[in-house]
Amino acid sequence: MRFRTIAAAIAGMLALAACSRSTARYDGPLYLNEDAPIEDRIEDALQRMTMKEKIDILHAQSKFSSKGVPRLGIPELWCTDGPHGIRAEVIWDKWRTAGWTNDSIVAYPALTCLASTWDRDLAALYGKSIGEEARYREKDVLLGPGLNIYRTPLNGRNFEYMGEDPFLAGEMAVPYIRNVQKNGVATCVKHFALNNEETGRMEVDVELSDRALYEIYLPAYKKAVTEGGSWSIMGAYNKFRGQHCCHNKTLLCDILRDEWGFDGAVITDWGGAHSTDEAALNGLDLEFGTGTNGLATNYDGYDNYYLALPYRDKLLSGELPMETLDTKVRNVLRLMMRTSMKTRKPLGSICSDEHYAAAKKIGEDGIVLLKNDASTLPIRLEECSNILVVGENAIKMMTVGGGSSSLKAQHEILPLEGIVERAGDAAKVTFARGYVGDPTGEYDGIVAKQDLAETRGEQELIDDAVALAKEADFTIFIGGLNKGENQDCEGGDRYGIELPYAQDALISALAQATQKLAVVFVSGNAVAMPWVDSVPAIVEAWYMGSEAGHSLASVLFGDACPSGKLPFTFPVRLEDCPAHALDPVFPHMDTARYVDDIYVGYRGYERSGVKPLFAFGHGLSYTTFAYSGVRADKSKVKNGGSVTISADITNTGKVAGAEIVQLYISDLESRLDRPAKELKGFDKVWLEPGQTKTVSITVSVDDLRYFDPEAHAWTVEPGEFEAHIAAASDDIRGSVRFSLQ
Q: In the complex, which residues of this chain contact ligand BGC (CB under 6 A)?
A: 81-82, 143, 190, 269-270, 294-295, 404
The CA–CA distances, whole Å, from 36 to 17, 20, 28, 532 equal 14, 15, 11, 63
Q: Per the omega criterion (within 30 degrees of 0), is the bond before 439 cis? A: no
Q: Give me the count of residues in the chain.
A: 741
Residue type for 581, please?
A
Pairing of the two strands 537-540 and 517-522: parallel
Q: Which is nearer to ligand BGC, 29 or 294 (CB)?
A: 294
| Cα distance between the two ends of the chain | 61
Find the DSSP H helices in 440-536: 458-471, 503-513
Q: Are strands 474-480 and 446-447 parallel, antiparallel or unpaired?
A: unpaired
Residue 267 or 466 having the CB closest to ligand BGC = 267
- Give the full edge-to-edge strand order of the sheet including 239-240: 243-244, 239-240, 205-207, 591-593
Counting DSSP H helices and E strands in the chain, the numbers are 18, 28
Q: How far is the CB of 589 from ligand BGC (least distance, A)?
A: 18
Q: Shortest distance, CB of residue 199 to ligand BGC, whole angstroms? A: 13
CA–CA dist 397, 482 (Å, integer):
9
Of the two residues 489 and 598, which places its CB atom closer to ligand BGC in the complex?
A: 489
- Sheet with 232-235, side-by-side order of all strands: 65-66, 77-81, 141-143, 186-192, 232-235, 265-267
The one-character DSSP state at 425 is G
Query: For helices 548-556 and 353-366, what crossing angle results, to 10°?
Result: 50
The torsion angles phi and psi of 536, rounded to 5 degrees, stand at -75, -35
* CA 399 to mean position of chain CA atoms: 15
Q: How far is the CB of 404 from ligand BGC (least distance, A)?
A: 4
Q: DSSP assignment, residue 146?
A: B
Q: What are the strands, taking DSSP E only, across 82-179? A: 141-143
3-class DSSP assignment, residue 423 = helix
Give the number of other Cβ atoms within 10 Å of residue 538's Cβ.
Answer: 27
**What are residue 150's phi and psi, to 5 degrees?**
-70, 100
DSSP 40-93: HHHHHHHHH--HHHHHHTTBBSSSSEE--BGGGTBPPEEEEE-SSSPPPPB-TT
Annotated catalytic residue 269: yes
Distance from C-alpha of 144 to C-alpha of 161, rounded to nearest angstrom: 9
For helices 323-338 and 309-316, what crossing angle results, to 10°?
140
10, 27, 42, 150 from 17: Cα distances, Å: 11, 9, 20, 50
CB of 239 to ligand BGC, least distance (A): 15
Residue 424 CB partners (closer than 8 Å, separation 6+): none
Minimum Å gap between C-beta 237 and ligand BGC is 7
Q: Determine contact, residues 641/660, Cβ cutoff 8 Å.
A: no
Shortest CB 294 distance to ligand BGC, Å: 4
How many Å apart are CA 637 and CA 645, to the nearest integer?
12
Measure the CA–CA gap between 159 and 37, rounded to whole angstroms.
40
Query: What is the Cα–Cα distance from 238 to 247, expressed in whole angstroms?
Result: 11
Residue number, 236 or 368, with CB nearest to ligand BGC: 236
- In the complex, what is the shortest distance from the CB of residue 254 to ligand BGC, in angstroms, rounded to a whole number? 24
d(CA 26, CA 325): 30
- In the Cβ-directed half-sphere of 394, how many Cα atoms lie within 13 Å? 24
Q: Choose between 82 and 601: whose C-beta lies nearer to ligand BGC.
A: 82
Distance set, CA 504 to CA 96, 255, 437, 573 (Å): 36, 46, 12, 14
Strand-pair partners of 626: 650
What is the nearest approach in angstroms of ligand BGC to the Cβ of residue 132? 20
Tell me which of 81, 140, 269, 504 is the catalytic residue.
269
Q: Where are the beta strands (DSSP E) in 311-453?
A: 368-372, 386-390, 428-432, 442-443, 446-447
Nearest approach in angstroms of CB 271 to ligand BGC is 7
SS3 (DSSP) at 406: coil
* Distance from chain centroid for Cα 124: 13
Indicate the residue among 290 and 324 with the shorter CB distance to ligand BGC.
290
Amino acid at 687: L
Query: 726 burial class (0-12, 13-18, 19+ CB within 10 angstroms)?
Result: buried
What are the catalytic residues? 269
